[in-house]
């Protein structure tokens, strides 16, 4: 079958050898997935999920049982008082913007103690001016950068916390930066430090790409809110849209009042038939995340053994599903992405090309053959065509697909003479 899918004997043999060296780590990933699977099933049982939860609700969505029970399931799984899980939350950025704008008031200050936040949040906060930013509403922003080695600058974080500091935002995943992603334990230490200086400050964690990578979540170590996208990990590849916020009763009520309207809150917002995919996707998410993690580790080890810089490296512990591979040339980035595309179940016959994209200062090439548009829990890769010519790669709904994608990317590099095995 590999031959039929365009993988040569040499590439397959190379990949299988790397895979053999990773079996112990894969077993550990499976153990985490097993634990998280039980956690989700337990929550679903405790919340008495039943067939009526999958019913179609329209209009105002008063007493939409499926929606309300799903929010209980998220809260139980993540050990929070409450959750907001809605198709009306359009993406991760929207969920984060909602959590921030709902819990901050004019005159308050937002602090990021982990350096620059994810690109799209710059306009939300007003770091880059934008209509309707927090800055326009009189909310100020402070940032404390990480040390060179990615550790927290506790001294300057302490100095940055003042009587206006209302909310601290902590991004778990590196996103598209080169800093390390944080473990849940590290996040817990940072939260404890912040709360030791100012106990009533709200600690929010951008949990994108982190859900179910470990057996605990930031909400288990003191986060007042965790926030993410359903077309990443917790949607399990089935959710067609959506975002979630899980946290304290008070924070979530503020979010609900902001999402719909003061007074209406969680009571409105019909789920419009997406509930089965939300439940089933959440149920599948621990194993889907495990497949994506194996893919990331497989890619790291393949490309590291060929001499390319990879972040995280082949042996580091994992705190999210993103893998960066520095290929060093535009041709390398393009070949890698063409390989990922060629391995997709959808749109495999098209060939991605670098192009100018809004919000980027160089051409970008993107590969994705996904069932859900833009879903990055599905196998996908993209790379800006500029030094150091790195490609960011994530997802894979199954380990077998992730493996095929990575082998196909390697095949493309070999065919073009960019790599010799």
Ligand X SMILES: *Cc1c(COP(=O)(O)O)cnc(C)c1O
Tell whether residue 206 is a contact of ligand X (CB under 6 A): yes
Tell whether residue 208 is a contact of ligand X (CB under 6 A): yes
CB 245 within 8 A of CB 226: yes
Angle, nearest 10°, between helix axes 399-415 and 330-342? 140
User: How many angstroms separate the CA atoms of 371 and 391, rounded?
Assistant: 22
Tell whether residue 173 is a contact of ligand X (CB under 6 A): yes
For residue 271, count other CB atoms closer than 10 A to its CB.
26
At closest approach, how far in Å is the CB of 103 from ligand X? 17
Where helices occur in 88-241 by DSSP H, the ranges are 92-103, 119-125, 154-160, 184-197
Tell whether residue 233 is a contact of ligand X (CB under 6 A): no
Q: Which is nearer to ligand X, 243 or 369 (CB)?
A: 243
Tell whether residue 212 is a contact of ligand X (CB under 6 A): no
Q: Segment near ligand X (CB under 6 A), from 85-93, 140-148, 156-164, 269-277?
A: 85-93
Tell whether residue 229 is a contact of ligand X (CB under 6 A): yes
Cα 240–chain centre separation? 15
Q: Segment near ligand X (CB under 6 A), from 89-97, 131-139, 261-269, 297-305?
A: 89-97
For residue 336, count other CB atoms closer than 10 A to its CB.
31
Nearest of 134, 136, 154 to residue 144 by alpha carbon: 154
At closest approach, how far in Å is the CB of 410 from ligand X? 25
Structure tokens of 113? 């103690």
Q: Of all residues in this chain, which one has the CB nearest to ligand X in the complex?
A: 92
Tell whether residue 93 is a contact of ligand X (CB under 6 A): yes
At closest approach, how far in Å is the CB of 296 from ligand X? 14
- Applying CB under 6 A, among 11, 47, 91, 161 the residue interacting with ligand X is 91
Residues 6 or more apart whose CB falls under 8 angstroms from that of 136 comprise 126
Q: Segment near ligand X (CB under 6 A), from 11-19, 143-151, 167-175, 347-355?
A: 167-175
Tell whether residue 375 is a contact of ligand X (CB under 6 A): no
Tell whether residue 171 is a contact of ligand X (CB under 6 A): yes
Q: Please give the C-alpha separations between residue 70 and each of 190, 233, 263, 285, 334, in angstroms, as whole numbers.
A: 30, 16, 22, 14, 41
At closest approach, how far in Å is the CB of 362 from ligand X? 19
Tell whether residue 241 is a contact of ligand X (CB under 6 A): no
Q: Which is nearer to ligand X, 112 or 326 (CB)?
A: 112
User: How many angstroms separate the CA atoms of 49 and 70, rounded?
Assistant: 8
Nearest of 212, 244, 221 to residue 170 by alpha carbon: 221
At closest approach, how far in Å is the CB of 33 from ligand X? 21
Q: Which is nearer to ligand X, 119 or 253 (CB)?
A: 119
CB 103 within 8 A of CB 167: yes
Tell whether residue 175 is a contact of ligand X (CB under 6 A): yes
The 107-146 site mask, x for binding ligand X (CB under 6 A), equals -----------x-x--------------------------
User: How many angstroms separate the CA atoms of 61 and 322, rounded?
Assistant: 36
Tell whether residue 181 is a contact of ligand X (CB under 6 A): no
At closest approach, how far in Å is the CB of 62 from ligand X? 28
Tell whether residue 377 is a contact of ligand X (CB under 6 A): no
363-368 sheet: strands from edge to edge:
310-311, 323-326, 390-394, 380-384, 363-368, 355-356
Tell whether residue 271 is a contact of ligand X (CB under 6 A): no
Instruction: Return phi, psi of residue 26, to 5°.
Output: -65, -35
At closest approach, how far in Å is the CB of 251 from ligand X? 18
Q: Which is nearer to ligand X, 175 or 269 (CB)?
A: 175
At closest approach, how far in Å is the CB of 44 from ligand X? 25
For residue 4, count other CB atoms closer than 10 A to its CB.
6
Q: Which is nearer to ligand X, 120 or 140 (CB)?
A: 120
Give me the count of residues in the chain: 421
Q: Where are the beta strands (DSSP E) in 51-163?
A: 82-86, 109-112, 140-143
CB 167 within 8 A of CB 125: no
* 196: exposed, middle or buried (Cβ count in 10 Å: 0-12, 13-18, 19+): exposed
At closest approach, how far in Å is the CB of 267 from ligand X? 26
Residues touching ligand X: how many (CB under 6 A)?
12
Tell whether residue 92 is a contact of ligand X (CB under 6 A): yes
CB 358 within 8 A of CB 305: no
Q: Segment near ligand X (CB under 6 A), from 88-96, 297-305, 342-350, 395-403?
A: 88-96
Question: Beta 140-143 vs 225-229: how paired, if at all?
Answer: unpaired
The residues binding ligand X (CB under 6 A) are 91-93, 118, 120, 171, 173, 175, 206, 208-209, 229
């Amino acid at each position: 079958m590999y031959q039929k899918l365009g993988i040569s004997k040499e590439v397959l043999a190379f990949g299988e050898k790397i895979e053999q060296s990773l079996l112990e780590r894969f077993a550990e990933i499976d153990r985490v997935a097993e634990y998280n699977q039980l956690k989700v099933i337990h929550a679903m049982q405790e919340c008495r999920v039943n067939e009526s939860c999958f019913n179609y609700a329209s209009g105002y969505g008063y007493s939409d049982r499926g929606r309300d029970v799903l929010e209980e399931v998220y809260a139980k799984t993540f050990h929070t008082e409450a959750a907001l899980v809605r198709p009306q939350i359009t993406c991760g950025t929207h969920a984060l913007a909602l959590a921030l704008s709902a819990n901050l008031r004019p005159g308050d200050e937002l602090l990021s103690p982990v350096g620059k936040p994810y690109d799209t949040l710059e306009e939300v906060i007003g770091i880059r001016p934008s209509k309707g930013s927090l800055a326009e509403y009189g909310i100020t922003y402070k940032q404390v950068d990480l040390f060179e080695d990615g550790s927290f600058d506790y001294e300057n974080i302490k100095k940055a916390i003042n009587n206006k500091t209302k909310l601290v935002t902590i991004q778990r995943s590196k996103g598209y930066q080169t800093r390390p992603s944080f473990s849940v334990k590290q996040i817990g230490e940072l939260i404890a430090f912040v709360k030791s200086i100012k106990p009533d400050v709200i600690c929010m964690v951008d949990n994108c790409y982190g859900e179910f990578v470990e057996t605990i979540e930031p909400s288990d170590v003191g986060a007042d809110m965790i926030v993410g996208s359903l077309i990443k990990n917790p949607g399990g590849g089935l959710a067609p849209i959506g975002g979630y916020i899980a946290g304290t009763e008070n924070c979530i009520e503020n979010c609900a009042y902001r999402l719909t309207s003061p007074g209406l809150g969680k009571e409105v917002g019909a789920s419009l038939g997406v509930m089965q995919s939300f439940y089933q996707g959440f149920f599948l998410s621990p194993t889907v995340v495990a497949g994506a993690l194996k893919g990331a580790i497989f890619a790291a080890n393949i490309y590291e053994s060929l001499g390319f810089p990879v972040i995280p490296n082949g042996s580091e512990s994992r705190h999210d599903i993103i893998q960066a591979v520095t290929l060093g040339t535009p041709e390398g980035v393009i070949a890698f992405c063409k390989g990922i595309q060629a391995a997709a179940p959808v749109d495999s016959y098209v060939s991605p090309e670098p192009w100018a994209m809004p919000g980027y200062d160089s051409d970008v090439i993107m590969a994705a053959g996904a069932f859900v548009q833009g879903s990055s829990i599905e196998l996908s890769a993209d790379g800006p065509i500029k030094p150091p010519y790195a490609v960011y790669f994530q997802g894979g709904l199954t380990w077998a697909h992730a493996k095929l994608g990575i082998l196909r990317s390697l095949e493309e590099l070999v065919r073009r003479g960019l790599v010799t095995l």
